[in-house]
Amino acid sequence: MRCGDFKENYLQDEAIFQSLPVKFFLTLFFVFLLIFPFVANAYLLYMANMIGFAVIGAVGLNLLTGFTGQISLGHSAFIGVGAYTSAILITRCGLSFWVSLPIAGLVSALAGMIIGLPSFRVKGLYLCIATLASQFIFEFIFVHWESMTNGITGIHIPPPQIGSFKFATEKDFYWITLFFAVLAVGYARNLVRSRMGRAFVAIRDRDLSAEIIGINLLHYKLSSFAISSFYAGITGALWMSFLKVVTPEHFPFILSIQFLAMVIIGGMGSVLGSIFGAVFMTIVPEFLGYVTTVVKMQAPGYEQLFIPMKEVVFGGLIIVFLIFEPHGLAEIWNRVKSVFRLWPFSY
Amino acid sequence: MDIFLQIIVSGLATGGVYGLIALGLVLIYKATSVLNLAMGEFMTIGAFICLTVLTQFHAPFYVAFLFTLLFAFVLGVVVERVILRPLIGKPIISVIMVTIGLGVVLRGLMYMIWTPVYRNFPDIFPPKPLNLGFAIVPSGLLWGFIFAVIGTLIFLSIFKFSRTGVAMRATANDQQAAQSMGINVRWVFALAWSFGAMASVIGGIVIGNLSGISVYMGDIGLRVLAVIILGGMDSIGGAILGGFIIGVLENLAGFYIDPLVGGGIKNVAPFFILVLILVIRPYGLFGKKTIERV
């Protein structure tokens, strides 16, 4: 019986799959993901897609905020940059979705690096305010650069296609989302155990010491911003192709907060946590929406009370997790796991 | 030329209010090193409370005003005690995020209680505008400016002359030294939050009077960040001066740049200024140069 983690060399400690049971359950989970579209209805598939986009965005933000310790309040702006880049490339330049996707990521990464540049001079509070400002500036650009973005009318995007096959329904799109979500999570999981990931963590824990042991701060901070924004750009391009239209209202400040909430609630500095956070934060509003409709049927007139419930719950969860469970759902998950692993001799 | 002066004057009047709210932010930041991103929501909730007391209970304005101040005081103490104190010593991201969370919760609660309907204040101030000769100041702006200036002066004199104010300054300077001199640092923290909240609700009432209130008025709280970055995060004088500068620049941008880009620049101008300051002079005009540059 396993009663703890015993690692004899660094190779074991760095392994992506830490133990046999992990591999087993992960395989089960993949099988489930592959069967899922054949048994689920359109609504569940829609939710699965939304969760997929949230996972990609949250993992990206976690690389920046959770691992490198740089706060970004402008994640939704980078998502917007990616979405608009892809939309403009598809509709104006006639590029295919598959070509526009990486370009969207790269343009977002560039935007992220520009915003991240001040991180070399300022940090903490100041950086947080700088990213907040960039959020509002980008929002302004989305609305007012009408020749490019069509302003508030937005841009309609045709569905992606391979040959003559169009990914038009939720079910078809699920495969795209799944592919990129798995790719994103796999890359992040691998990154954090690499030289770069360890540099990120070192910068987060103490930037002075990190520089002393030879980590080039500017290089790694900017890389972190770039990777995180690249993820955001991919998220935006995928999400908007799924919705088939992109408008400035999709990228409000609250979306940035929502992504930060995913990272915090899931657990900062944990890839698995971001996945939990993304799933949780996508399902909770949906559940609240369901409660609203029930209330509307049972007690008409009171459903007004439930419309802002989403915000109250988001904010409340952020506060509660920060105060009582700063390591997030990932930590809860670990505790639950160890209860089972150590049972009946936990001590 | 007339229009230019007019813009400057009304910019100064708005700037007074910005200065007051910025003062609240600086008070909190100086004493507790927390940047309160829920300031805009404090402001809005104050304006709503004042309006409700005025219209529902038909109370005279000064009663509503005092009640709102009392409410702000309690709000500040409660927020500090319940939300901020457990996070003392935690990483900066937690502290920032918790104020954001607080702001989101407050906004949602306001939405529930007062619905997102846009409201107007009843006329509190005499409607006669002031004619300066070269420019005309609308009555709302004028009275708002007077209120903001009086509020600022009161806070400044408390800070400068009263025993509490000295305790607050001492705490801002060195927490441990203050504590060993017998200053109740916890109480100072709570007071700083209360004063911050009070400054912001006065700002909220003034702005509510000028342009009506809705749940979304809180966005102004984020624009005020530009003010404290410009003035320096820990400088009270900087906050007030910064308020005037941002107020004027915002109004100028609104008038001269708006036609070029199709509107809306007034609300974003402070953020452009903010980024510019961060690039050129991150510690602001009067801030202490304590940023580590590594």
Interface predicted TM-score (ipTM):
0.86
Contact residues on chain A for B97, CB-CB shorter than 8 A: 260, 264, 318, 322
- Longest alpha-carbon distance in chain B: 59
Question: Are A225 and A70 spatial neighbours (Cβ–Cβ below 8 Å)?
Answer: yes
Write out chain B residues lying below 8 Å of A121, CB-based: 278-279, 282, 291, 293
Q: What percent of chain A has pLDDT over 90?
A: 33
B88 touches chain A (CB under 8 A): no
Find, in chain A, the residue whose alpha carbon is nearest to that of B36: A125
pLDDT on residue A1: 53
- B213 in helix, strand or coil? strand
Asked if B278 is an interface residue toward chain A (Cβ–Cβ < 8 A), one would say yes
Task: Give the rounded percent of residues in chain A with a pLDDT score beyond 70.
Answer: 96
pLDDT, tens only, B182-218 = 888 888 899 999 999 999 999 888 888 887 888 888 8
C-alpha B206: how far from its chain's center?
11
CB atoms B100 and A257 under 8 Å: yes
From A274's Cα to the closest Cα of chain B, the distance in A is 16
Low-confidence residues in chain A, pLDDT < 50: none
What does the pLDDT read at residue A347? 59
Which pair of structure tokens corresponds to residue B99?
A: 């104020």
Of B83, B233, B271, the CB nearest to A133: B271
Q: Answer whether B93 sits within 8 Å of A307, measured CB to CB.
A: no
| Structure-token match 């007030």, residue found | B240
Name which of B105, B263, B279 is nearest A312 (Cβ-Cβ): B105
Quote the CA–CA distance of B189 and B178 in Å, as a whole number.
Answer: 12
Which pair of structure tokens corresponds to residue A197?
């990931």
Q: Which residue has the tokens 């209805």?
A: A41
Instruction: Enumerate domains of chain B plus CATH numbers.
Output: 17-120+141-280 (1.10.3470)
Residue of A nearest to B104 (CA): A315
B269 touching chain A per CB within 8 A? no
Contacts of A79 (CB under 8 A, 6+ apart): A57, A108, A232, A233, A235, A236, A239, A251, A255
* Model confidence, pTM: 0.89
Q: Does B166 touch chain A (CB under 8 A)?
A: no
Q: What is the CATH number of domain A40-342?
A: 1.10.3470
Nearest CA in chain B to A137: B268
Cβ distance A260 to B263 less than 8 Å, yes or no, reads no
Quick check: B38 contacting A, CB < 8 Å? no
Place of tokens 């400068």: B160
Query: Which region holds residue A161: left if phi is over 0, alpha if psi is between -120 and 50, else beta?
Result: beta
Taking an 8 Å cut-off on Cβ atoms, the answer to whether A133 and B264 are in contact is: no
Boundaries of every domain in chain A:
6-35, 40-342
Q: Which stretches of chain B drop beneath a pLDDT of 70?
A: 1, 133, 262-263, 289-294
User: Over the stretch A142-153, which tens digit does the pLDDT of each residue have?
Assistant: 888 888 788 778
The candidate with the shortest Cα–Cα distance to B265, out of B249, B254, B255, is B254
What is the pLDDT at residue A227? Answer: 95
Using DSSP's 3-state secondary structure scheme, residue A241 falls into helix
pLDDT on residue B294: 40
B165 at the A interface (CB within 8 A)?
no
